[in-house]
Structure 1
Amino acid sequence: MIVYSPHSKFTMQRIADHVANGAYFYAKIDWKEYEDWINGETKTIFNSVDGLIEKLTERYDLKLTPRQRNYRLEKGYPVCTCIVQRDVFEKYKWTLHLLFTTPKTRDFNLQCGVASQKIVNAKDREKVEKLQDKFKGFTWIKPEIQAQMDLIYSYFKDREPLQFILDTAISLKVTQHMTFELVRTDHKVYKPTEKEYKDRIRSFSWSWRYSKQSYLRMKARLIAVVNKLISQKNNKLAEKNRADLRNFFKMIEAWAVFKSNRQQSGELLHFAQRFVRKKVKKSWQQIEIEPPHLVYLPRLETYAENLNEYRYRRELFDQYGLEVPLDLVREGDFMKIAAYMYRKDVSFVSGNKRTDESLLSENLE
């Protein structure tokens, strides 16, 4: 399976999906294309990612259907998913994320943290109970982990360095200043009478959080901006400080979309609010600041089915700063695409786009 991702949040959502289904082994490939002229006449891309994707597709059987992938796991063989993302800033820079599932990681994941008595379907409940008996007292010690790696290496005839995500969290460096980590978070237990109570079948979920260093950097930046604002006597400079804080809050709104880092962001905001009240005895509204409204990331739709669709959509975004729907791209009628962009009041000027990545980068420098 190949997944094409337009930006980091899409990549993060898809990685979490696959890990939550038992893809416990991970590898990353960074790739750089470059552009040059042939005989001073023809502009050509060298070291194209197309060739790399073709090799990986053949090596890891990435064209398997979901049914074929399930059949392969049932037969005792591993499967692989590749998530492809082109950099938002550098159009020749690519990152490919490889996620491997083995029969054992899938079975372990199916039963781990599950309250089987809450499963309504009798067949599914029986399957989980059998797996829980099988994995009773099981722990992922080094020989067990190595055995799964050896299975992946021997089956795909490759030695790509792998990390086991229960030992080492997947980290994603979104910009120079910000890194996210994928972690397993336990659900808080509430009494049935409490408002927050949910009757969950599984006791945990996978979510992204800011790394410790990134979190501390955000906290330091927030303290600095707030401190400048509340201590500023010059009205013009105070307005600039207020704009800096609003931009910081916009950055938090853009990125605090996962359960874990949303909680971290809430802690930051609560800390900043207490800091303001302690220093000047005022609320956000009294210093003319609207606190960010935090929401979860919705389910993002398929971006592209193949590399040609992906490249075309990214080129349109690079040029016009707008995501054109996949169905219009597939039709290939530029007049319809132009009409769509006109309806969206798009300025046909390159370089006007604003991305969450740029927002994040600017506010943490």
Structure 2
Amino acid sequence: MTEPPAKKACLGADCENPAGDLQCPTCLKLGIKDSFFCSQDCFKRNWNEHKATHKTAQGKLANGILSSLMTPKVVSEPDPATGHFNPFPNFNYTGPLRPVYPLSPMRKVPKSIKRPDYAETGIPKSERFLNRNKFDILDQAGQDAMRKVCRLGREVLDIIAAEVRPGVTTDYLDEVCHKATIERNSYPSPLNYNHFPKSFCSSVNEVICHGIPDQRVLLDGDIINLDVSIYHEGYHADLNETYYVGDKAKADPDSVRVVEAARECLDEAAKLIKPGTLIREFGNVIEKHAKTKDCSVIRTYCGHGVNSLFHCPPNVPHYAKNKAVGECKPGMTFTIEPMIALGKYRDVTWPDNWTSTTIDGKRTAQFEHTYLVTETGVEVLTARLPTSPGGPVPMPGMENGTAAA
């Protein structure tokens, strides 16, 4: 599960600077949130484009972002045949995907399993007052505990991935995740984390991250990110991969391009991990590689430290020229989890306050590992196994890296 960086990106078109404290005064009056710019000059340069946001919020434009700013009050009537419905029928979705409710009840965890502080209240109090510039350095016992929980996390992800196929629902995959996690005497970390209702995140097609498993059936041609996090004996593991649903997805050039670009971006970033590497360097490598595939890098969400806390320092942005602080030191454990898109990098959140999609409805893919910095380099704690489902797929029409005859 991802964590947003401390600062939002500037809303200026193609501006790569982080946003400062300058917020559009008109947006404040209209109740539009997170409308930040890096400087007064940048705000002025982008005024003509930005003011369209105000017209939308005032109901003067038919197409725009108004519906992404306010939760619709109207709820679709359940289908008499299935009981399914779209809970946000008036929302201006950016792509073809729709939520399919009702959600199944929150799954139960046996009381015998050790759980994080938010399991009952939904509030991760231990994360609220962290020093964002202080990085945990694990001793040998902590490192061994992380090795164990990450091995278990990999087992859980592989079990879910083996069930991915056309015709199954993401809610069924959540049930598989929950059962596999419990069988390993572990707690599914996303469950009730800031009130998230499910045991893992399932993000399909244009969903960047934090998709809520529901009654939607996977279709031949979909791509799906499975984001698994588990808590075992006081430590969290965090990993995810994007998978092709059916042969149709593997035959779609755009789907293969974005999925393999995301996979390669993570691999390229991981090559840098060693003592002394600056945290900000990962984003430079990721964005450089993404551009070679004609893809963009999502900026709103970032990698993060993970150990006895689900999300802790350092923040690990995935875009170039970021201002992340700190460097890699032996004993640090953190995630890198680039989200790569076919189109624009900006995002829109559904009214469920979790599901984040691309602003233009184009597809996006993500891969994530938990890493341990060692004295000589890095250990990939959540590394794929020879038996792990999924893996790289060649571009359609290509065989062994060359064009098929």
> Shorter-chain TM-score: which interval?
under 0.3
Which of the two has greater helix per residue?
A: 1
Give the TM-score, by structure 1 length.
0.22
Bigger Rg over Cα: 1
Give the TM-score, by structure 2 length.
0.20
